[in-house]
Amino acid sequence: MNDEILNLYRAFNTAMAADDTVTLDQLLAPTFTLTHMTGYVQPRAEWLREIKQGTMRYFSSVEDHVTMEATADGWQVTGQNRVVASIHGSRQHEWPLNTVMTVSKVEGKWQIVAAVVTTY
């Protein structure tokens, strides 16, 4: 496994669970999108704004499994984490989330270009 890419994946989950939008801002490519389990494709700025406003609150993220595969232009990281969150005013709930993440070099730096989230 590529330690740099694995650390990027883990930093994303740690920052998300801490509502740390400063770190997320550094990890996410400018064109980043998050596809939620509902199918909604959320732009980077909107997701970060919802975290800042507390509309999307994340409390913890516990890693169960992660795999990585090199692609023609970067990496595909697939991870399963149990995430406790409160989304749009719902009560806290633990979600078993499968995240498929596309990681590419953007201006010489590895960044997360997209994340597609489903349950497992």
Span 78-106, pLDDT tens digits = 999 999 999 998 999 999 999 999 999 99
Q: How far is CA 12 from the centre of its chain?
A: 5
Span 54-63, pLDDT tens digits = 999 999 999 9
Contact indicator for 101, 10 with CB cutoff of 8 Å:
no
pLDDT above 80 (res 1): no
Q: What is the pLDDT of residue 9?
A: 98
Instruction: Return the percentage of the chain with pLDDT > 90, whole number.
Output: 98
Closest C-alpha to 10, from 85, 103, 93, 72? 103
